[in-house]
Amino acid sequence: MARPNNKRVKKLMNKKQLNKKIRKLEEDNKILNKLYFIRHLYDGKSIEEAAKLEEISISTAYSWLNRWNENGVDGLKTKHRSGRPGSLSEEDKEELDILFSETEYLTTEKAHEIIKKTFNLDFTLKHIRTILHQLDYYSKSYTKESNGKKQLIFKKK
């Protein structure tokens, strides 16, 4: 007979901290796979054999070997990839979170207005919803505007 499911998880950190920890360990796991490949080479396997054992392509194997030979373990770490920086900093997002929490009926359009007024940034409504989700807001219900149009109302998780 199965036990009743009344045991709750003890939240020892917030979800953002948990996700950060998971990402860190995922990165460590990627290095571990590369180290396994290097260990196969230490054990006398050919590059082709080691690549097959780790299920990587030959070009990836040579890349890992070159990075190992040049910089050791540090060479195997994933390098920061440059890209277009976000328009909103973490501090901006924290400020937005406060402003959003003070809004009674938060819709995508209201969030858009707040961002435009506060930061002079004009995002698409789709991107506004992405920002809301990043800040742990979810769409709870709909409201009908006077023009009959339905709008999502967002609440904090």
Average pLDDT over residues 42-70: 93
Structure tokens, 116:
């435009």
Residue length, the chain? Answer: 157
pTM of the model: 0.46
Domain locations in the chain?
17-76, 90-156
- pLDDT, tens digit (0-9, with 9 covering 90-100), for 102-139: 988 888 999 999 999 999 999 999 999 989 988 988 88
CATH number of 90-156: 1.10.10
pLDDT at 28 over 60: yes
pLDDT at 69 over 90: yes
From 22-26, 78-82, 117-121, the region with the lowest mean pLDDT: 78-82
Cα 12 to Cα 115: distance, rounded to the nearest angstrom: 32
Residue 53 pLDDT grade (very low, low, confident, very high; cuts 50, 70, 90) = very high
Helix 90-101 and helix 125-134, axial crossing angle in degrees, nearest 10 = 90
Cα 21 to Cα 106: distance, rounded to the nearest angstrom: 31
